[in-house]
Amino acid sequence: MSNAKNAKCAYPMPPNEAERQRELCDLELLDAGRIEQIDRICELARSLFKTPIALVTLIDRDKQSILASSGVNLTETSRADAICNVTILGNAPLIVRDAASDPRFKTSVLVRGPPNIRFYAGAPLQVRAGINIGSLCIIDRAPRDFSAEEQGRLSALAALTVSEILGWRAVRKLDASQKRLAQTARMAKIGGFEFSRTSDKHTWDDMIYSLYGIPPGTPPANDLIVSRYDPEMRAKSRRRITALTRHGVPCDVELRGTRPNGETFWVRVLADAEVIDGKVSRVFGAAQDITRRKFNEVRIQELTSRDPLTGLPNRASFIDTLNSYIDAAQANGERVAVIKFNIDHFRDVNDAFGHQTGDALLQSVANGLWQDFSAVGTVTHLGGDEFGVIMHGPAVDNAERYAKAFVEQAKTLFRHDHSTLPLSVSGGIAVYPDHAEDAPGMMKSAKVALDRAKAQRRGSVVLFDPEIAKAAEERDALMRKIRHGIDNNEFIMFYQPIVGLRDGKVAGLEALMRWNDPERGILAPIHFAVGFEEPGLAIRLGDVALDMAIGQMRAWLDAGVGFGNVAVNLSTAQFRLTDLADIILGKLGRAGVPPPQLTLEVTENVYMGWGADVVVATVCKLHEAGVSIALDDFGTGYASLSHLRQFPIDKLKIDKSFVQAVESVAIVDAVINMGLSLGMQVIAEGVEKQDQVGLLRLKGCDFVQGYIFAKPMEPERVAPFIAGFNPTARKKAIANA
């Protein structure tokens, strides 16, 4: 079609439009109806890219016909409104991040109305060089990005679609002409054959010899053909030959074989009989090479049942396999074991080293599991950082031993930048029929055992038992109650004074969360500590603590209360928020609270974890803004002097377990000296006796916190406490201690 004619159209056309239309007409697709293989590709595209809609379209003269669809009931549209009409102009995928803001498409009725296209990605269906008959496209109702890797997958699926279209067309021609040997012989990779019962003569064309890898000129014989089929296919082939030649039963069968050179092939054999006077006199038919289609089916199956990152079967495949093993076990009385493995602190790996390293870690674990378990079980990537293994029969007796051996081996499994990084993997095991009676029950029981392993000691393996399930149910119930408590403002803050040992004054307060449970009254953190084990819940609790403490500081500032500063604890989960520093500084800014009046307490283990780089970046930004940083519970984790020098720490808090233990005097002395030598203020927690105060003062400790001065108190009691606190008397008492 000329450019002049294109200019008159309301939509663009390729320069070879007439040739393209002839190709489309020759394929006979416009009146084809549903094609199962194309439908499956369409559904696969929708699932693979997680979009609500996927289409296979054909661009006709003035309309867009929908050959296959998933997620929308659409048969055709105007060509002028079809984004796919632009897709066929090129050879690469067309990506439209937001059609509503794209001047080419924003006025299309398909964008302004149903199906309300916002995101579009389409790959042209190129049946031969320069001839694009339509597209395979995915659609979302919200804008989104589409990576180069995803574009490659979409193009691969489009090529697969073209292959299936051409294969469908070839089979359609074969079906239409199976009784005419001369016509079938002219079709690509289709060989014709004939057998006369009257003369007992076989006739093959050249394609039959090529298809089966038989040297040309070899005398034709049924046994020669049958010998090329794989052993399990031979009996099937002989039954069909007997039914055809003796009784005239038409044959339509797909068979797999191996040529002498080792190549695997698939053929579809279509045959019929000529019957005279009730007897078969002649048999004729054709064999088509369908190897490519069969391999494509395998590829589709792999895409839907395998994880592309690790190459292992995915969750859906895992469930299917587990169901089949349980069905077999019910029949023969065997047992089935499910082992769930989880990479501990996997999210921290991604945060610290990036997703590329996280993917490499998943692949390392997958390879390790495959090496250890493939001979005795089915290994699966269940998704994220979770893997599964199914064992059945006698192997079940050794499931726990295998699991523990893998967990131990995993410690040295992962290398990054030529160094082996410490890796911890936890496992949970459930056994059928001891622990559950079906696949969902087995999955749940294994997950309960895995959760117990992670809770009691990371890097361990736990076998399910009913007591674990009971504890898990109680834990889940408590989690729900904590969430309900957050939603209903049941969590409150108490404040414990921090007293200076040099001047006897209240230097600040530590904000300590309490749960005002309507049924049980005021509860200490031990009653809701489980909430901090779940990252999402820990972040919500931490957010409540920050909001309440900052709001209370604003109220004290307005009332003229000299509270010094307030310390708030931060959890590990909160540091997974990459914008945590901005969140905290934003809260301070909106409340009008100067940053130096806030102290954030961070434990050693937060600094030492996988995400240490993220933690350091966050606390550095806060420290530069004026917020004080305190290292909490020092001595209970893994920090050392060299570690402390790397971080912006203003205050060092000695854990109460050392303060209250007589045998720990040397440790307390060493910690105080270390903190002071690094220019930090040292605070001792859990001080309850006068002799402890005296010892700490002599050792040079700056501040103390504990019941000897005050228990944690409600916010309204803080101002009167500070006002009534007698620094002179306290200083004298401290000096005499």
Confidence of residue 57 (pLDDT cuts 50, 70, 90): very high
The predicted model gives 377-392 an average pLDDT of 92
Query: What are the structure tokens assigned to 669, written together?
Result: 């002395």
Is the pLDDT higher at 326 or at 476?
Answer: 326
Q: Which of 194, 231, 227 is nearest to 212 (CA)?
A: 227
* Cβ-proximal residues to 721 (8 Å cutoff; 6+ apart), any chain: 497, 506, 710, 713
* Cβ-proximal residues to 384 (8 Å cutoff; 6+ apart), any chain: 346
CA 390 to chain centre: 20
Kindly report, residue by residue over 257-296, the tens digit of the pLDDT.
Answer: 999 999 999 999 999 998 888 889 999 988 888 888 888 7
Q: Write the burial class of residue 247 (CB in 10 Å: 0-12 exposed, 13-18 middle, 19+ buried).
A: exposed
Note the pLDDT of residue 663.
Answer: 76
Query: What are the structure tokens assigned to 411, written together?
Result: 């410690």
Task: Give exposure, 522-559, as e/b (b: 16+ Cβ within 10 Å).
Answer: ebeeeebebbbbbeebbbbbbbbbbebbbebbbebbee
Confidence of residue 636 (pLDDT cuts 50, 70, 90): low
Q: Are 346 and 336 in contact (CB under 8 A)?
A: no
3-state secondary structure 596-661: HHEEEEEEHHHHHCCCHHHHHHHHHHHHHCCCEEEEEEECCCCCCHHHHCCCCCCEEEECHHHHCC
In three-state secondary structure terms, 454 is helix
Q: Which amino acid is at 269?
A: V
Q: What is the DSSP letter of 12?
A: -
Signed CA dihedral, 172, 174, 180, 183: sign only: positive
Confidence of residue 184 (pLDDT cuts 50, 70, 90): very low
Q: What is the DSSP letter of 706?
A: S
Q: Where are the beta strands (DSSP E) in 360-464?
A: 378-383, 386-392, 415-416, 419-420, 425-432, 461-463
DSSP class per residue in 333-344: T--EEEEEEEET
How far is the C-alpha of 464 from the C-alpha of 446, rounded, in Å?
Answer: 7
Note the pLDDT of residue 611.
Answer: 54
Q: Which of 585, 598, 500 is nearest to 549 (CA)?
A: 598
Q: Which of 449, 430, 440, 465 is nearest to 335 (CA)?
A: 430
Q: What is the DSSP letter of 437?
A: S
Which phi and psi angles does 598 have, rounded to 5°? -115, 130
Note the pLDDT of residue 622.
Answer: 94
* Cβ-proximal residues to 654 (8 Å cutoff; 6+ apart), any chain: 634, 635, 668, 671, 672, 682, 683, 684, 685, 701
Q: Are 207 and 191 in contact (CB under 8 A)?
A: yes
> Long-range CB contacts (< 8 A, 24+ apart) of 499-503?
499/703, 499/704, 499/705, 499/709, 499/730, 500/702, 500/703, 501/693, 501/696, 501/697, 501/701, 501/702, 501/703, 501/704, 501/734, 502/702, 502/731, 503/727, 503/731
Tell me how many degrees the CA angle 214-216-219 measures, rounded to the nearest 5: 80
Kindly report, residue by residue over 641-687, the tens digit of the pLDDT.
Answer: 556 677 788 999 988 888 888 777 888 888 898 888 888 999 999 99
How far is the C-alpha of 340 from the C-alpha of 387, rounded, in Å?
Answer: 6
Residue where the block lists tokens 């060509």: 79
* Cβ-proximal residues to 584 (8 Å cutoff; 6+ apart), any chain: 546, 598, 600, 622, 627
Question: β-pairing, 651-654 with 681-684?
Answer: parallel
The predicted model gives 306-321 an average pLDDT of 87
Whether pLDDT at 640 is above 90: no
> Considering just the CA atoms, what is the radius of gyration of the chain in Å?
37
Which phi and psi angles does 73 have, rounded to 5°? -100, 90
How far is the C-alpha of 312 from the C-alpha of 318, rounded, in Å?
Answer: 10
How far is the C-alpha of 513 from the C-alpha of 536, rounded, in Å?
Answer: 17
Q: What percent of the chain has pLDDT over 90?
A: 52
Note the pLDDT of residue 331.
Answer: 85
Q: Are 563 and 556 in contact (CB under 8 A)?
A: yes
Note the pLDDT of residue 608.
Answer: 61
Note the pLDDT of residue 206.
Answer: 86
Residue where the block lists tokens 């499931």: 399
User: pTM for the whole thing?
Assistant: 0.51
Q: Are 251 and 155 in contact (CB under 8 A)?
A: no
Kindly report, residue by residue over 66-120, the tens digit of the pLDDT.
Answer: 999 999 988 999 999 999 999 999 999 999 999 999 999 999 999 999 999 999 9
DSSP bridge pairs for 42: none
Q: Which of 393, 385, 368 is nearest to 458 (CA)?
A: 385
Is the pLDDT higher at 655 or at 123?
Answer: 123
Is the pLDDT higher at 351 or at 239?
Answer: 239
How far is the C-alpha of 29 from the C-alpha of 169, rounded, in Å?
Answer: 8
Whether pLDDT at 418 is above 60: no
Helix axes 580-591, 535-559, angle to 10 degrees: 30
Which phi and psi angles does 95 have, rounded to 5°? -115, 125
Torsion of CA 308, 309, 311, 314, to 10 degrees: -70
Q: Which of 228-237, 429-438, 638-647, 713-722 has the lowest mean pLDDT?
A: 638-647
Confidence of residue 455 (pLDDT cuts 50, 70, 90): confident
DSSP class per residue in 305-357: HB-TTT-SB-HHHHHHHHHHHHHHHHHHT--EEEEEEEETTHHHHHHHH-HHH
Kindly report, residue by residue over 543-578, the tens digit of the pLDDT.
Answer: 999 999 999 999 999 999 999 999 999 988 888 787
Q: Are 448 and 428 in contact (CB under 8 A)?
A: yes
Q: Which amino acid is at 604?
A: E
Q: Are 482 and 504 in contact (CB under 8 A)?
A: no
Mean pLDDT, the chain, integer? 87
Note the pLDDT of residue 185.
Answer: 47
Distances, alpha carbon 661 to alpha carbons 501, 664, 701, 703, 708, in Å: 20, 5, 16, 18, 16
Q: Are 652 and 683 in contact (CB under 8 A)?
A: yes
Q: Which amino acid is at 122?
A: G
Whether pLDDT at 446 is above 80: yes
How far is the C-alpha of 390 from the C-alpha of 430, rounded, in Å?
Answer: 10
The predicted model gives 199-205 an average pLDDT of 87
Confidence of residue 4 (pLDDT cuts 50, 70, 90): very low
Q: What percent of the chain has pLDDT over 70?
A: 90
Note the pLDDT of residue 212.
Answer: 92
Which phi and psi angles does 372 have, rounded to 5°? -85, -30
